[in-house]
Amino acid sequence: MTDENVSRSPRTVAVTAGRPQNDNDPLNASIVMASNFQESGDYARTHGTSTWAALETAVGALEGGQCLSFATGMAAASAILFALHPSVVVLPSVSYLGVRALLGDMQDHGHVRVVSVDIVDTKAVMHSVETAVSEVGADQVVLWIETPTNPTLDEAELEKLCRAANAINVRSVVDSTFASPMGQQPLKFDASVVMHSGTKFIGGHSDLMIGLALTNQPEIFEKLSRARVVQGATPGALEAFLALRGLRTLPLRYEAATKNADEICRRLKAHTSIEWAKNVGPMLSYIVKGGAEAADKVCVSASMIIIATSLGGVETTMERRQKYAGDAHVNPGLIRMSVGIEDIEDIWSDLEQALAS
C-alpha cells in the first residue's frame, strides 16, 4: 500500500488503487486471458496475472495488507486453513454454514478439532483459546472470528479478541464478508488473516464468484500463496476484472444500502408482525411472528424483493435461513435480508404488503 493510499479516503482508494501506471496504458486493468506467457517461465496458476494483481492491489489498499485472490470465498477459507495448519480451531457456533461444514469434515477426518463458542462472549472465547493453547501450544491454535455473524448478525468485540489472541501468539482469522472493507479493517487490530467472499459486497452485482485473503505478515502471505498454487484455487480472469470493477463503487453502494437498511430495521421494530429485527450495515435479519410458515409466506408474497441465497448485490434479497440444514439451529421465523440500493419507499412498500399477507 502506497503512502498516498494511507492518507486518502476509502472512497478515493476504491476508485484509484490498482490502476495501470505507465504512459499510454488503458485507464482500467485489462482482462488477461492467458495461462502462460511468451519467452517466460511464468505460468498463471503459479505467478498470477496482471488482472489478479490489480484487484489484489486495490483490496489490499483498502484493508491495509497484502491480498491474494481465489476462485471463491470457500476456496479462500480452505487455503487459509491449509496454510495455517492448526490442530484446534475455535469457531463461532453461529457462523457461515460453509465454513462450519468444511471444518466439520476436517474434524471427521481427524485433521483438526473444532471448539464452538459464542463469539460475543469475549471472556468465554478467550478461555477456550487459552485452554486449547495449554493442550496443544499456541502455534497449533487458530481463533476464527466471524463478525457480524451469518445469519443472526452477532457482533464480536473484534479488537479485543484479535489483540488478546495476538498477545498469546495465537493466530486469528476474521471472516469480514458481511462488514466488507467499508465496515471494518481487522488487520488494524492485529488480526493474522482477513478473508472475504468477494462474491458478495466487493463484487456487488451478483454476477461472479471470487474469494480474497489478506495479511500483513510476510510468512503467512507466502504460505497462502503456496496454498493457492498447490490447491489450484485460482480466480478466473473475467471474475477478477468484474470484482475490481465492482470494488470501484463499493463505498457508494455500501453507504446507500446501509441507509436503507437502517430505516427498514427501524420500521420493522415497530411492526406488529415482527418479534425482533437488527441490521449491521446493509445486512438485516428479522424474526416473523408465527414461525417458519409465516416467514415463508412473507418471502413468497414479496413482488420486488427477490428470494435468493447470496447477498451483497445492488438488489434487495431475502430468505428464511432455518430451512437449510446447516442453519437448523436458528429461529425458524428468521429472515435474512441483504438490503439493496433501490428507493427506500419501494423496498418498504413491498415488504409491508408481504408482511400483511
Mean local confidence (pLDDT), 133-148: 98
pLDDT surpasses 70 at 279: yes
Looking at residue 24, what is its pLDDT?
A: 87
Cell of residue 112, nine digits: 483438526
Cβ-in-10-Å burial (0-12, 13-18, 19+) of 356 comes to exposed
Instruction: List the domain boundaries for the chain.
Output: 3-248, 253-356
Q: How far apart are the first and last CA of the chain?
A: 52
Distance CA 142, CA 288 (A): 36
| pLDDT higher than 70, residue 322 | yes
Give me the amino acid identity at 314: V
The model's pTM is 0.95
Q: Provide the edge-to-edge strand list for the sheet that holds 141-146.
A: 66-70, 211-215, 193-197, 171-175, 141-146, 88-92, 113-117
- 1-36: per-residue pLDDT in tens? 556 666 899 999 999 999 999 888 999 999 999 999
Cα angle for residues 240, 60, 94 (degrees, 5° grid): 85
Please check the confidence at residue 174 and state whether its pLDDT lies above 60: yes
How far is CA 94 from its chain centroid?
A: 15
Looking at the chain, the number of H-run helices and the number of E-run strands are: 14, 12
* pLDDT at residue 79, rounded to an integer: 98
Q: Taking a C-beta distance cutoff of 8 angstroms, is the pair 179, 281 a contact?
A: yes
Report the Cα 90 to chain-centroid distance in Å: 18
Per-residue exposure over 271-285, b if at least 16 CB sit within 10 Å of its own CB, e if not: bebbeebbbbbbbbb
* Range in 35-44, 128-137, 194-203, 334-343 with the lowest mean pLDDT: 35-44
User: Does the domain at residues 3-248 carry the CATH identifier 3.40.50.2300?
Assistant: no
Give me the pLDDT at residue 40, please.
87
**Alpha-carbon distance 197 to 77, whole Å?**
9
Neighbouring C-beta atoms of residue 3, cutoff 10 Å: 7
Strand partners, 88: 113, 141
For 192-250, the pLDDT digits (tens) are: 999 999 999 999 999 999 999 999 999 999 999 999 999 999 999 999 999 999 999 99
pLDDT at 3: 60
Cα 99 from Cα 74, distance rounded (Å): 7
Q: Is CATH 3.30.565.10 the classification given to domain 253-356? A: no
